Amino acid sequence: MPNSFVVLLILFFVALGIYYLLSLRIQNIWLLLVSYTFYFVWQWQSAVVLMGLTLANFVLGLIIERSKRRLLWKSIGITLNILTLAFFKYRLFVFLRMLNLSAGLGNQPASDTLAILVPVGLSFTVLQTISYLVDVGNSRLKAERNLIDFALYLAYFPKLLAGPIERANKFLEKLRTPRVVNNKSITDSFTLLLIGLFRKLVIANLLSRFASETLFKQPSTFTSPELWMGLISYSFLIYNDFAGYTGIARGISGLFGIELSTNFDLPYFSASVADFWNRWHMSFSFWLRDYIYFPISRWLATKVDRRHPINTILPPLVTMIISGMWHMASPNMLLWGAIHGTYLSVRRLPLPGKPSLPNQRPFWEQVIRASAVFLLVTLAWVPFRTDISNSLRFWKGLIIWRSGPLSLIPLAIILPSLVLDALQSSNEVVFARWPHHARAAAIALTLLAIGLVLLARTTGTPFIYQGF
């Protein structure tokens, strides 16, 4: 555990203590100050980019609201945000092409040219600014007139790195409402924080050994059982890593009396791939649904009949391809998006049989469906993790059997993840309602497990979704 972490922790509690003493309006200014300090310390260049985006979108929101040419200004605003994202996030792509070209001309560039800054959390910020401008443009939301609140909406530090992607109308309302931090909210926040840390530091950290980079970069050198176990490990690794991060973010935010959106709802127990997307990275899925999927569907409905196959296939396919490209502008992410788009399209095709609600189905059918969805989603994680040629090799290695010993250790690590899911299925802070001594034992066990893992692996790994 680095010393800087301890310093950060102390500063956090000092900031929290001061926050409690302030009035509502000053609290927002204080939170903004703390958020920007955090951002400046992390990567000052990113803070400058965020400031620019904040000012531009604040002004654009006001212009859109007052303008008679809303569509034009809305389009300008969306384009500006997309260009910002493209410039910072996808510049590497463009640069590489340019470099290839210049190398072809015998003009070898210095490798330092590739050291491009990608502002932390930019992808998440841009989604929020776009939704804000669209909502203002469609009169679903009044343009924000308080620059402090608007800036805080974008910069609020618990959600800055990797969401949840908050909607302006809900979040800004929270910023205007007096907050209460009482025994219940403190207990709930610490519970979320502790479960989040356990998921990230214990489960995800331990699973990372079995879903190593080598496994995905050189799949041909591994046996089929190793590939299967590695892939299942990765599936639970990415889930626990991201769900863990969200838990930590929500827990920290809860201490400030601001509730952040839920991002996961037992995704690996989904009855269909569509259901999976309603439970996985929910704030992002719902954003895609509202700002990509619905507009495409509505537009197509004006062109072709609602039941036309194009109207069934195109909206999910385009939506999921955009989802893939949002994660990273690379062919493998395109493939990942296309796979999920195909899953969703097939799901929407009229199939024989009587439709029924998930909870009305017999238990065995629910298990089979959940297993099938897990399998489909897990197979699709391959191109999420590695390039296309290695993805093909990986899938080949899964199917064309090369026997070898099977290590069951990953399953032992996955088990706590499933137990946590089962316990959290009724209430995500269920532990907070346990009897006193049981809670103490659970806290002790969790802290010990975190401590032991940290001790064994003193160099931490960054959150996977922070990279997006």
Partner 1 sequence: METSIDPQYAARDDATNLKHHTLQLSWPLGLPVIEALILIIIVLGVCELLARTQSIAALLPMQTVGSGSPGLELKLAGLREFVDEHGSVDCIFIGDSTVLRGIDPQMFEVAYAESTNIKIACYNFGVLALSPVESAALSEILVEKYHPHLLIFGTNLRDYYYDHTNERVMHAITDIPWIQYKLGNFSPVGWLTDHSIATQYYLGSITHLKSAWDEDLSKYATLRANGFAPREGIIRYEEVNAARCDSAKKAIGFQIPESVESALNDLVALRRYDVQVVFVELPLHPRLIELCNHGEPDYDLYLSGINDYAHAANVPFVQSTPAPWIDLDGWSDSYHLNEAGAEIFSQWLGRQIAHAITETASLNN
Q: Does 310 bind partner 1 (CB under 8 A)?
A: no
For residues 260 and 279, give the distance between their C-alpha atoms in angstroms, rounded to a whole number: 16
C-beta of residue 88 within 8 angstroms of C-beta of residue 43: no
For residues 311 and 31, give the distance between their C-alpha atoms in angstroms, rounded to a whole number: 45
Q: Which of 176, 308, 402, 433 binds partner 1 (CB under 8 A)?
A: 176
Q: How far is the CB of 147 from partner 1 (least distance, A)?
A: 5
Tokens representing 47 are 């803070």
Of the ranges 72-80, 159-167, 183-191, 390-398, which one interacts with partner 1 (CB under 8 A)?
183-191
Q: Does 140 bind partner 1 (CB under 8 A)?
A: no
Q: How far is the CB of 194 from partner 1 (least distance, A)?
A: 10
Q: How far is the CB of 28 from partner 1 (least distance, A)?
A: 10
Q: How far is the CB of 282 from partner 1 (least distance, A)?
A: 28
Q: How far is the CB of 29 from partner 1 (least distance, A)?
A: 12
Indicate the residue among 42 and 190 with the shorter CB distance to partner 1.
190
Distance, first Cα to last Cα, the chain: 25
Q: Does 181 bind partner 1 (CB under 8 A)?
A: yes
Q: Which of 12, 90, 95, 190 binds partner 1 (CB under 8 A)?
A: 190
Task: Count other Cβ atoms within 10 Å, centred on residue 397.
Answer: 21
C-beta of residue 254 within 8 angstroms of C-beta of residue 189: yes
**Helix (H/G/I), strand (E/B), else coil: 361:** coil
Q: Which positions from 374 through 403 interact with partner 1, judged by CB under 8 A?
A: none
Q: Does 20 bind partner 1 (CB under 8 A)?
A: yes
Q: Does 145 bind partner 1 (CB under 8 A)?
A: yes
Tokens representing 434 are 């346990």
Indicate the residue among 304 and 440 with the shorter CB distance to partner 1.
440
Q: Does 182 bind partner 1 (CB under 8 A)?
A: yes
Q: How far is the CB of 428 from partner 1 (least distance, A)?
A: 18
Binding mask 321-360 for partner 1 (x = CB under 8 A): ----------------------------------------
Contacts 24+ apart (CB under 8 A), 183-186: 184/432, 185/254, 185/255, 185/257, 186/254, 186/255
For residues 136 and 142, give the distance between their C-alpha atoms in angstroms, rounded to a whole number: 6
C-beta of residue 77 within 8 angstroms of C-beta of residue 60: yes
Q: Which positions from 414 through 443 interact with partner 1, judged by CB under 8 A?
A: 436-437, 439-441, 443
For residues 465 and 285, give the distance between their C-alpha atoms in angstroms, rounded to a whole number: 15
Binding mask 237-266 for partner 1 (x = CB under 8 A): --------------------x---------
Tokens representing 401 are 């059997």
Q: Which positions from 36 through 95 interact with partner 1, judged by CB under 8 A?
A: 59, 62
Q: Does 30 bind partner 1 (CB under 8 A)?
A: no
Indicate the residue among 107 and 182 with the shorter CB distance to partner 1.
182
C-beta of residue 190 within 8 angstroms of C-beta of residue 152: no
For residues 399 and 219, give the distance between their C-alpha atoms in angstroms, rounded to a whole number: 12
Q: Does 456 bind partner 1 (CB under 8 A)?
A: yes
Q: Does 4 bind partner 1 (CB under 8 A)?
A: no
Tokens representing 67 are 């303008």
Q: Does 177 bind partner 1 (CB under 8 A)?
A: yes
98-135: burial string, b at 16+ Cβ within 10 Å, e else: ebeeeeeeeeeeeeeeeeeebbbbbbbbbbbbbbbbbb
In the complex, the residues that contact partner 1 under the rule CB under 8 A are 1-3, 6, 19-20, 23-25, 27, 59, 62, 145-147, 149, 176-183, 186-187, 190, 257, 436-437, 439-441, 443-444, 447-448, 452, 454-456, 458-459
